[in-house]
Amino acid sequence: MKRFGFVFLLSVLGSIGIAQSPQLPTKLPALPESAKAARELEPFRFMVGRWIGVNPNGSVNEEHWTAPRGTSMVATFRQIRRDGKLGFVEVSSLSVEKDGVRLRLRHLHGGLEIPKGREESNDFAVKSLSKDRAEFTGVGKDKAVTAVIYRLDGKDRMIVETQFAPETGERGYQLVYFREKN
């Protein structure tokens, strides 16, 4: 049965032109027009890169932002606990939509389960944008988050700050990241 599924997948991929061809490219082909970065994403380019930070409790945060392609940018986040185990994961996207650029994120537990009560993604709209700084505010069910701010602080340091409405009782916090180099 497993073999049938694999053969079926290859046949579907072949029918849409994705299956392995006899002549594989030896270098990256020119990207199609659809992959060129939307101009609306250019101001967010400062976020691109591999960022890493150590929290006061000894846990480690990593956030990796991809370059803009088409109408989106994507990030992955992971937190490594002090015992070395995966704490949680987050997947984020910046996307150009009819009402502007939106930041959406989804938290996942270490086993990639969606936490109870957090089945929907978190949704943020651009509040302000300037050179090397982007501020978002929660919309819809996320209005209690008054600000998520990404700002470059020097060439290789980024601060991510989250602020909450006073009535939530939540304390705001800052994460400090450094550009990870090979």
CA atoms within 13 A on the CB side of 23: 1
- pLDDT-based confidence at residue 20 (cuts at 50, 70, 90): low
What are the tens digits of pLDDT across the range 33-81?
A: 999 999 999 999 999 999 999 999 999 999 999 999 999 999 999 999 9
Q: What is the pLDDT of residue 17?
A: 62
- Is pLDDT larger for residue 6 or for residue 40? 40
**Cα 37 from Cα 43, distance rounded (Å):** 11
Q: What is the pLDDT of residue 12?
A: 62
Number of CB atoms found within 10 A of residue 181's CB: 7
Inform me whether the pLDDT recorded for 6 exceeds 80.
Answer: no
What are the tens digits of pLDDT across the range 96-143?
A: 999 999 999 998 887 777 767 766 788 999 999 999 999 999 998 888
Output the pTM of the full model: 0.81
Query: Do residues 61 and 79 lie in contact, with contact meaning Cβ atoms separated by under 8 Å?
Result: yes
Q: What is the pLDDT of residue 141?
A: 85
Inform me whether the pLDDT recorded for 1 exceeds 60.
Answer: no
Burial environment of residue 113 by CB neighbours within 10 A (0 to 12, 13 to 18, 19 or more): exposed
**Cα 103 from Cα 112, distance rounded (Å):** 20
**CA nearest 47: which of 160, 127, 163?**
160
**Cα 18 from Cα 45, distance rounded (Å):** 30
Q: What is the pLDDT of residue 86?
A: 93
Mean pLDDT of 15-19: 62
Q: What is the pLDDT of residue 25?
A: 85
- State the residue for tokens 């053969």: 7
The fold adopted by the segment(s) 31-179 is Lipocalin (2.40.128)
The alpha carbon of residue 63 and the mean position of all alpha carbons in its chain are separated, in whole angstroms, by 8
